[in-house]
Structure 1
Amino acid sequence: MQSNEETPNVWPYLLDLRFPSLHLSTAEVSRMKPPLVPLATLIGRELRNEKVEKPFVKFGQAALAKKGEDYFLVKSDCQRIPGNPATSFSVFAIFDGHNGISAAIFVKENLLGNILNAIPQRISREEWLQALPRALVAGFVKTDIEFQQRGETSGTTVTFVVIDGWTVTVASVGDSRCILDDTQGGVVSLLTVDHRLEENVEERERVTASGGEVGRLNVFGGNEVGPLRCWPGGLCLSRSIGDTDVGEFIVPIPHVKQVKLSNAGGRLIIASDGIWDALSSDMAAKSCRGLPADLAAKLVVKEALRSRGLKDDTTCLVVDIIPSDQPVLPPTPRKKQNALSSFLFGKISQNSTNKTTNKLSAVGVVEELFEEGSAMLAERLGKDFPMSANSGIFKCAVCQIDQPPAEGITANSGPFFSPASKPWEGPFLCNKCRKKKDAMEGKRPSRPTVAT
């Protein structure tokens, strides 16, 4: 068997086979579990190992329309440095609109540019990947601000995936979903968090604490029906882009997860809730194993239709990340991982917004690099935003517009500077983005109240 330093030791499997009655305590397993490998180390290994090359990315798409509010984005030819093919990366996204199509179309056309504008120029690939999670947050918030200025009331979920080599970064708001089918371990991992008020207790508490009301629809006679919704507006999601008529406590701040695959590759299934309302993550992955990406996407949609019928827009992207020396994705083993190897090779989500629905039971040999789901903008942007090249000029961390010192307000300060505040610490926000931040946290009305 060919060795590779990216491949974990298989001794836990041998231990389990030779000593089936051996039971280890959780503390013992925790001590044995290898620590997460820093991103810089992983990239350094790639550079030192000539056998590790950039993978092929092959994809397929399929959809059935019920309301015509689903949109998707496929850009497999992006470049970190324009004109340099060695800096290529791919983007795949699904936008599931509601209350109209305007938000989904606007976000499809503007989100990628806003994200890329939030990443510093002339930085290395390692720095680019490390800056990407924060840039995704800034891009989502900026796109939401720009769309709400149009005065339209539609909204959209977003699941946005960036693939750079073996590193996959996923940002999401709403209930579209991205799963990873690991080809080595046969383990299906959820890379997103569903922001549905019905299932997400932490999001319900956040919305009510920020000034929203959560309840079911009341019908004649006082009976409550349907899923939990946020009022005003009646939206059953706690995060989205758009939805101007609902309230700023429905935030556009995405859950972000970044992982690095082994050089055996893997399959991503990105789909709107028309798929996930009909199929579990395991069902979707197993239904299309062994097929090329284009046929796999069609089969997932067909399986969802067979299971539930066409009750909603149903859109699916299947993306295969394939070793460069193989024409197709290797077959996925059907053998399940044992409990010991799950502890040793998988990192259970520690800081996701919804720990109940987003646990990674096991991730095979996938390295988890980053995960954060907080809805607090200051926490997501960090504190290391420097001043612009022009001395004394601050740059807004969200809209990327230069601000004079008198107008650059730190996101970590209160409405007024107090002795405990540190106005010199970033990130800095312009007045417009600061108002957006305060509104999302329930500190001020998101828009003027209209008397009726």
Structure 2
Amino acid sequence: MLPKSGDHHTVPLSVLLKRESANEKIERPEISHGQASQSKKGEDFTFIKTECQRVLGDGVTTYSVFALFDGHNGSAAAIYSKENLLNNVLSAIPPDLSSDEWVLALPRALVAGFVKTDKEFQERAQTSGTTATFVIIEGWVLTAASVGDSRGVFESAEGAIYYLSADHRLECCEEERERITASGGEVGRLNTGGGTEIGPLRCWPGGLCLSRSIGDMDVGEFIVPVPYVKQIKISSSGGRLIISSDGVWDALSAETAFDCCRGMPADAAAAQIVKEAVHVKGLRDDTTCIVVDIQPPEKPEPPKPPSKKQGKRVFKSMFRKKHSESSSQVDKEEYSEPDVVEELFEEGSASLSERLDSKYPVCNMFKLFMCAVCQVEIKPGEGISIHAGTADPRKSRPWDGPFLCSSCQEKKEAMEGRRPSGASRYSSGSE
């Protein structure tokens, strides 16, 4: 869990979820959704799967998945990711975890699933690529993973906006540009001759504007599929999630997107956002939007702060202690201040070693004789620690897991610029 500033005190997510499940006043939210799109190239694809069932030791729980893939240089990578990414994420999670352990395991499982999807797609020797914004909602916990420049944004019922994805355009992040050049790529604008450079920063070879994606084997494996991951605990008053391709975000700010559809049901809201974006910029690119409303079960309409918030006070007390006033003082008030969204996890590093490190919760998530990325069985002594070859001797623990198979170790080295890029490993092909 991320540290919090000030005098607020956080509680481990596992404790929070156990308290929530034991409290009858806190119920699972109702989820409604809608999507809309206007197509220019036909390379945007969405994936929506609600009420996915997962068997626990003592019953069944459900979760929902909402994802958007914005393809480029063809649609093959977007289609492949739509069909395989969820299964690859789920395969990285042990089957015997409790509900709270499952949520804690998601950030590392998402990293493994993204890398596995990219690795398997590249073996098909097709040169297209795709962004991916992938959101899993389990109870009141929302976990988002993303590569590229599609975005996920959440607005709480109280009006606060939370950005759930990072923009992996080369223009936006100096650290990503330095990582690519250190790994063997070049970053620059399109040279039209005579020293004139135009357009956005691009990675060469290939001319891609993104630093992370799934696919794009013709550019180089320093364009990595390691996602930015953010996990938040939604307040009991709910909120609205928007997932859109850059066709929306090139035209609208997050505030404008939420404002233009306020009060509309999810399906109408998605259509309105796309309409507004096309009105501002014209249909220059595929423009796709998913809207997800996450609401308390007792409020079918878009939530508004009620005059009495006894249920909210119970929820709030689970994960925060206010230093300025006692619980008895709060009970005497007509209403308490709005709930807040709790940020539980955030990590954007491109290093696979850091992202799969066993320091994170659920340390025994990756099995000793199983590749942490592709989930193939590894014979004793054949697994390669993710720490092998680490430059920093303080972090070099070659005897410590998780472990990779030789193929995934090669993938890791390629992403770090320590072996020739994927373009030389796989033969070229067309879609």
If the length of structure 1 is used for normalisation, what is the TM-score?
Answer: 0.82
Question: Which whole-Å CA distance do the structure 2 matches of 1:265 and 1:421 have between them?
Answer: 43
**Pairing 1:133–2:107 present:** yes
Q: Secondary structure at the residue paired with 2:207?
A: coil
Q: Secondary structure at the residue paired with 2:113?
A: helix
What is the match of residue 226 of structure 1? 199
Contact 1:290 1:331 in 2 (8 A): no
Higher deviation after alignment, 139-148 or 40-49:
40-49
Per-residue CA distance 1:42-62 (angstroms, 9 max, x = gap): 212212321110111100000
Q: Which runs of 5+ in 1 are unaligned?
A: 1-28, 334-344, 346-362
Question: Which whole-Å CA distance do the structure 1 matches of 2:101 and 2:58 have between them?
Answer: 17
Q: 1:387 to 1:158 in 2, by over 3 A?
A: closer
What is the match of residue 347 of structure 2? 372
Contact 1:175 1:194 in 2 (8 A): yes
Question: Which whole-Å CA distance do the structure 2 matches of 1:331 and 1:100 have between them?
Answer: 43
Residues 248-397 of structure 1: pairs in structure 2 closer than 5 A? 248-331=221-304, 365-383=340-358, 384-385=363-364, 388=367, 394-397=369-372
Question: Which whole-Å CA distance do the structure 2 matches of 1:129 and 1:369 have between them?
Answer: 11
Q: State percent identity of aligned pairs.
A: 60
Question: Which whole-Å CA distance do the structure 2 matches of 1:420 and 1:47 have between them?
Answer: 38
Contact 1:182 1:332 in 2 (8 A): no
Residue identity opposite 1:440 in structure 2: M
Offset at 1:400? 0.7
Q: Secondary structure at the residue paired with 1:217?
A: strand
Question: Which whole-Å CA distance do the structure 1 matches of 2:341 and 2:365 have between them?
Answer: 33
Residue identity opposite 1:91 in structure 2: V
2:405 to 418, 430, 444: 430
Q: Which runs of 5+ in 2 are unaligned?
A: 307-319, 321-337
**Pairing 1:79–2:59 present:** no
Offset at 1:427? 1.1
What is the match of residue 167 of structure 1? 141
Residues 199-238 of structure 1: pairs in structure 2 closer than 5 A? 199-238=172-211
Q: 1:40 to 1:181 in 2, by over 3 A?
A: same
Contact 2:18 2:100 in 1 (8 A): no
Offset at 1:387? 7.4
Contact 2:220 2:423 in 1 (8 A): no
Q: Secondary structure at the residue paired with 1:71?
A: strand
**Pairing 1:176–2:166 present:** no
Q: 1:261 to 1:387 in 2, by over 3 A?
A: closer
Q: Secondary structure at the residue paired with 1:81?
A: strand
Residue identity opposite 1:382 in structure 2: D
Contact 1:182 1:364 in 2 (8 A): no
Question: Which whole-Å CA distance do the structure 2 matches of 1:40 and 1:386 have between them?
Answer: 15
What is the match of residue 334 of structure 2? none
What is the match of residue 446 of structure 1? 421
Q: 1:260 to 1:104 in 2, by over 3 A?
A: same
Offset at 1:131? 0.5
Offset at 1:433? 0.2
**Pairing 1:148–2:113 present:** no
Moved over 2 A (4+): 29-32, 82-86, 383-388, 418-424, 446-451
Offset at 1:81? 1.7
Q: 1:313 to 1:443 in 2, by over 3 A?
A: same
Q: Secondary structure at the residue paired with 1:236?
A: coil
Question: Which whole-Å CA distance do the structure 2 matches of 1:419 and 1:366 have between them?
Answer: 36
Offset at 1:239? 0.1
**Pairing 1:409–2:380 present:** no
Offset at 1:332? 7.5
Contact 1:79 1:85 in 2 (8 A): no
Q: Secondary structure at the residue paired with 1:259?
A: strand
Offset at 1:424? 2.5
Q: Secondary structure at the residue paired with 1:171?
A: strand
1:399 to 348, 359, 374: 374
Per-residue CA distance 1:159-193 (angstroms, 9 max, x = gap): 00000010000000000000001102x11111110
Q: Secondary structure at the residue paired with 1:87?
A: strand
Per-residue CA distance 1:226-268 (angstroms, 9 max, x = gap): 1000000000000000001000100000000000011101100
What is the match of residue 335 of structure 2? none
Q: 1:224 to 1:77 in 2, by over 3 A?
A: same
What is the match of residue 60 of structure 1? 34
If the length of structure 2 is used for normalisation, what is the TM-score?
Answer: 0.86
Per-residue CA distance 1:331-356 (angstroms, 9 max, x = gap): 489xxxxxxxxxxx9xxxxxxxxxxx
What is the match of residue 101 of structure 1? 75
Higher deviation after alignment, 321-330 or 111-120:
321-330
